[in-house]
Structure 1
Amino acid sequence: MPARPAISWSTVALLLGLVLLAAASFISLPLNWKALASLEAIRTTKEFLLGFARLDTSAGFLRKLATGTAETLAMSALGTLLAALAGLLLALPASGRAGPAARLPVRMVLNVFRSIPELVWASMLLIAAGLGPFAGTLALALHTAGVLGRLFADAMENTPALPETSLRLNGASSLAAFLYAVLPQAAPQMLSYTLYRWENNIRAAAVLGVVGAGGLGQMLKYHLSLFQMPQAASVIVAMLLMVAAVDGVSFWMRRGMMR
């Protein structure tokens, strides 16, 4: 019979801290569960949801829906591509390949990029770039560059050093050793990260439209503000179908990479 694994005091202290934090959160927040479960709340929620029972399937609105869907997809794809390129460039110094002096400052820049949510980036960029998908695309690119830059840097740092060292000892330059030893090892993981962030950016692009950054989100905000529930329901269904399709394509691509 295998021996029972020992539980360290640090693990117990961490679990107790998490339990205390959760308990303190419930105590400190003004959670009104009674109002949430009241008959009035249930009635108004039911009336609101019943407004989504019908869909607007008119030809003119479906054309607008297709344009909004294509705009949202383009925002997410272009934003992710720009972020992957910027993240790769920033990951080189962030992984220490430009010297130890550049590692910490670049990582701090990446922290700033990813700490600011896409909605905040979009709100700031809308002032400079105006309403429309351009500001939304830049907002996605800036936030995602911070995320991918950190992930790419970690992937490069975690690659085995022996292949690169062997090439350097045999006279290869630093660039050649990186291209033929480090990058091929880290590329599958980096591509998987990029595809996953593209999935997230599809959802984020749909939300960014709420602040005027174009796409399906802007359509949803417009129709909800006018209480046009059939049109809003059609936009929500288009969002769900788009996200499901992109999730399927991304899963198929990641599965093909692992074979």
Structure 2
Amino acid sequence: MTAQRGHGLAGLACVAAIAIAVVASFRYLAVDFGGLFEAEARGRMARFVVEFFPPDVSPAFLRQVGAASLQTLAVSLLGTLIPTIVGGVLALPAAGRFGAVPKWLARSLLNGLRSVPELVWAALMVLAAGLGPFAGTLALALHTTGVLGRLFAESLENASPLPETALRDLGAGAVARFVHGTLPLIAPQCLGYVLYRWEMNIRMATILGFVGAGGLGQLLYFHLSLFQQAQAATVLVAMTLLVLGDDALSGWARRSLSAQAH
């Protein structure tokens, strides 16, 4: 009873601390929700939104948006595929499969890669490789390698060792034990991570365009800078369609993989 009471008091103290932190954050940031609903603020927001309609659907501009969409899609694909391979390789030592020192080195590298935001990587890559989609691809790949590598490593650590143990008892080698024992266990989860990061990278690829990394983001920044909201609206629609398409593809892939597993 004493232990349960202690756990209950600790839980209440944690909830109280979180509540105090939330209230303090609102007070510190001086958040004024009432200002959002004032007549003047509503009028300014309404006028700004109205300027985006109707979107520019002229054939020449649609061709330009289509080319930028393909560029953004290519950047997001390469910015996810490269980290899937490199992160998968680094996940093996990061999961402790080659000893303590390689584990520390791999985890330190992965932590360093993902601790630097994509925009900072993009700024560095623009300086190194110049303006364009190549810089955006490198920026996404560097950050996403850190993220996927850590997620893959955690999946390996949490995987059941029983299949590999059984294969070892049958005389299978280390590679065969991993490929036929552990890899099938973690493949669905890792695929989910990859698809989710690809969806995030589509959005991030558009943001990186604001620092000269090409694609829809650069097009959006250009037209917003010139207060050409009709053209910006078309770019936003293209961004939305890309994200929706990726979401539909991710859902289909997960359902197919789940059906095969059962």
Q: For residues 78-130 of structure 1, what are the alpha-carbon distances to aligned partners after superposition, in whole Å with 9 as ceiling and x for unaligned?
A: 11000101110110000001112221221122112112221111111111011
Map residues 103-114 of structure 1 onto 2, 5 A cutoff: 103-114=103-114
The separation in 2 between residues aligned to 1:10 and 1:171, in whole angstroms, is: 50
Aligned residue for 1:84, secondary structure, equals helix
Match of 1:188 in 2: 188
Match of 1:202 in 2: 202
Map residues 163-174 of structure 1 onto 2, 5 A cutoff: 163-174=163-174
Aligned residue for 1:171, secondary structure, equals coil
The separation in 2 between residues aligned to 1:82 and 1:148, in whole angstroms, is: 11
Map residues 112-191 of structure 1 onto 2, 5 A cutoff: 112-191=112-191
Aligned residue for 2:10, secondary structure, equals helix
The separation in 1 between residues aligned to 2:241 and 2:250, in whole angstroms, is: 14
Match of 2:49 in 1: 49
**What amino acid is the match of 1:185?**
L
Q: CA deviation at 1:69?
A: 0.6
**What amino acid is the match of 1:25?**
S
Gaps of 5+ in 1: none
The separation in 2 between residues aligned to 1:148 and 1:206, in whole angstroms, is: 20
Aligned residue for 2:154, secondary structure, equals helix
The separation in 2 between residues aligned to 1:9 and 1:30, in whole angstroms, is: 31
Q: TM-score, normalised by structure 1?
A: 0.93
Gaps of 5+ in 2: none
Task: Point out the structure with the larger helix share.
Answer: 2
**Aligned CA-pair RMSD:** 1.7
Aligned residue for 2:98, secondary structure, equals coil
The separation in 2 between residues aligned to 1:124 and 1:205, in whole angstroms, is: 15
Aligned residue for 1:8, secondary structure, equals helix
Map residues 1-259 of structure 1 onto 2, 5 A cutoff: 8-259=8-259
Q: Aligned residues: percent identity? A: 50
The separation in 1 between residues aligned to 2:106 and 2:14, in whole angstroms, is: 31
More divergent stretch after superposition (215-224 vs 10-19): 10-19
Q: TM-score, normalised by structure 2?
A: 0.92
Q: Which runs of 4+ in 1 moved over 6 A?
A: none
The separation in 2 between residues aligned to 1:8 and 1:108, in whole angstroms, is: 37
Q: CA deviation at 1:10?
A: 2.9
Aligned residue for 1:76, secondary structure, equals helix
More divergent stretch after superposition (48-57 vs 164-173): 164-173
Aligned residues: 255
The separation in 1 between residues aligned to 2:212 and 2:10, in whole angstroms, is: 48
Q: CA deviation at 1:167?
A: 2.0
Q: CA deviation at 1:40?
A: 3.0
Q: CA deviation at 1:196?
A: 1.1
Q: CA deviation at 1:34?
A: 4.9
The separation in 1 between residues aligned to 2:239 and 2:36, in whole angstroms, is: 27
